[in-house]
A and B are shown apart, each in its own frame.
Chain A
């Protein structure tokens, strides 16, 4: 985050589908060179928002400016300067990685483009350069689609749920690619419902729920803002959180799917009380786990719900 120039500015953005308020008065700005993440569960309005910024959907109300240009009036000029990761390469599944990248070069006539070989290096697909896209694994396909989005050397890259459905190893490989793009100073706007991904990659995160941004800041700031305490998680076979709220050192308790999370400012005293209670038969402590707070905890605290797929 070298500078704080706005490259994207979103004001009072709304999109309604009938009575459903998919996006309801969203405001934020993305700065040049940062990775900005929109974190939230499926259906929170992240994709609708990012697609309105990309120009794929028309807002019902509000203003979107990208690189100083306005959507949707300047959509064509904007498309030439941004890169959007396509979730599918189903158009020509029998073309090779190299052939598809070469084809996409012709979509940007008269523009400077990045050579195909360099793009393949960037997304670490050298060994698959001559493989047909339908034969790639899910993770390799996703890295190919990132490469396709980088053909025009875009000033802003959009990634919509880039690692959904991937195994952990494939996810790590994609994160490495995103990290390398950050080092080259690319601005990236991404959506995700994996808090770990947001925490790992994003300089700033907007937490989105029910079409609103409910919090915005760097992952570290958000965690600090809500938690000076440590999370103690366990299963007790019951679902009531209230019975733990009054224990010594506990600031807050929540449950989700039978799993209890107790936030403590004084772990030794809280643990002692929990063990005492278990000895007396007042509950069991299965799958006990003690950790510092994550964005997941922030989301849970803000919405009372876990961030799951």
Chain B
């Protein structure tokens, strides 16, 4: 075991000292996250769905409800208090405005009545602030129509925690899955083939070093890189783009490890089939492209035409992205978690067995 650890330490040193490998390993996913983060997390679409609950049956309440309906960025849905709060908690609407019963009466008797507003401040800080401002503006305008000393309407804010899923929430696990796939393809298959082509593998066979120890150290290196990439991607998403991690980080790390293992096994299989670095590059590119676009890492699977469904369901990346979305941002599952994990494990085992059978050392 100490030989494996020495080889592992050596390969980590080698990796850390290889500036360009280091750069591409981390820069590529970071560029993706930052690019998509900037595109999708900005307030480029200032539109908010509002659940309006009008419990007042007087003139003031109706007028107020009408005013809210005229606010441009608001799309109004009306319903009972229970139904709208439920929608808010499910993330289907952005806020709930409640006009309480007796509001008209209170206003006409010169008292200040409270309009209630319920929203989730954690989802997106900028959006929450905008919404509060809009509602306050509406109330201020409304109040200016009255000449009371005390303004007739005040805002009572109430916050809840709701499940939101913004585009960056959807994309972060996808980008994480993509970088794990590319770790297996580009950072495993091609280097292995060049080690063989440069006769390093054969020459190491001249020492008593058992081959499995070299392989074990290489797999450990890739898994370490996979975890480090995941840490950078998840960290950036949390701190820069306010992505909220629903599950435990430990569960995320577990799925990352399984995904890295699956794609490293696929990388070994590619290295078993390819004779030259050029053919390895060809195969990895051919595998990379369909996975990038057919595994739902950049857009929901529902957007793909139905005839592609069998392909989508065959690709391991589909299940890795789905599993990561479930544990990381609590997405609605495409497949049950157990199915995701079983498919990934199945791919890993099958590819590992085929590699063991077909991998050539020289």
Contacts and interface: CB of A to CB of B under 8 A. Distances in A.
Interface of A: 54-56, 76, 79-80, 84, 86-88, 90-95, 99, 102-104, 106-109, 132
Contact of B14 (A54, A76, A86, A95): A95
A91 B202 CA distance: 11
B13, B198, B202, B206, most chain A CB atoms within 10 A: B206
Nearest to A82: B206
Nearest to A93: B14
Contact of A87 (B6, B17, B203, B209): B203
Given A54-B206, A76-B208, A91 B6 contact: no
Contacts of A87: 199, 203
A56 B202 contact: yes
Contacts of A104: 207
Contacts of B2: 106, 109
16 contacts: A79-B207, A79-B208, A84-B207, A86-B204, A87-B203, A88-B200, A90-B198, A94-B14, A95-B13, A95-B14, A103-B10, A106-B6, A107-B208, A107-B209, A109-B2, A132-B17
Given A86-B203, A103-B10, A94 B17 contact: yes
Nearest to A84: B206
B198 A103 contact: no
A55 B205 CA distance: 9
Contacts of B203: 84, 86-88
Contact of B200 (A80, A84, A91, A94): A91
Interface in B186-226: 195, 198-200, 202-209
Q: Is the interface of B mostly helix, strand, loop or mixed?
A: helix
Contacts of A56: 202, 205-206
A204 B147 CA distance: 118
A104 B203 CA distance: 13
Contacts of B6: 102-103, 106
Nearest to B5: A106
9 smallest beta-carbon distances between A and B, as pairs: A84-B206, A94-B17, A106-B6, A107-B209, A86-B203, A79-B208, A92-B14, A106-B3, A90-B198
B41 interface: no
Contacts of B18: 94
B10, B11, B198, B208, most chain A CB atoms within 10 A: B208
A26 B338 CA distance: 62
B218 to A, nearest CB: 10
B201 to A, nearest CB: 9
Interface of B: 2-3, 6-7, 10-11, 13-14, 17-18, 195, 198-200, 202-209
A51 to B, nearest CB: 9
A107 B204 CA distance: 10
Nearest to A78: B208
Contact of A92 (B11, B198, B207): B11
B275 to A, nearest CB: 17
B121 to A, nearest CB: 49
Contacts of B3: 106-107, 109
B6, B14, B17, B207, most chain A CB atoms within 10 A: B207
A91 B13 CA distance: 12
B200 A90 contact: yes
Contacts of B199: 87-88
A56 B199 CA distance: 11
A106 B18 CA distance: 23
Contacts of A109: 2-3
A169 B200 CA distance: 27
Given A79-B206, A88-B200, 19 more contacts: A54-B206, A55-B206, A56-B202, A56-B205, A80-B208, A84-B206, A84-B207, A86-B204, A87-B199, A88-B199, A92-B10, A92-B13, A93-B14, A94-B14, A94-B17, A94-B18, A106-B2, A107-B207, A109-B3
Contacts of A88: 198-200, 203
Contacts of B206: 54-56, 79, 84, 86
B214 to A, nearest CB: 9
A142 to B, nearest CB: 13
Nearest to B3: A106
A289 to B, nearest CB: 39
Nearest to B202: A56
A104 B200 CA distance: 14
Nearest to A80: B208
A86 B13 CA distance: 21
B100 to A, nearest CB: 70
B302 to A, nearest CB: 47
B14, B203, B205, most chain A CB atoms within 10 A: B203
A90 to B, nearest CB: 5
A78 to B, nearest CB: 9
Contacts of B13: 92, 94-95, 99
Contacts of B7: 103, 106
A56 B204 CA distance: 10
Contacts of A132: 17
A94 B10 CA distance: 9
A199 to B, nearest CB: 28
B206 to A, nearest CB: 4
A290 B260 CA distance: 69
A161 to B, nearest CB: 13
A109 B1 CA distance: 10
Contacts of A84: 203, 206-207
B205 A108 contact: no
A136 to B, nearest CB: 15
Nearest to A105: B6
A78 B14 CA distance: 30
Contacts of B200: 88, 90-91
Nearest to B11: A92
Contacts of A90: 195, 198, 200
B267 to A, nearest CB: 18
A299 B205 CA distance: 34
A189 to B, nearest CB: 13
A108 B209 CA distance: 7
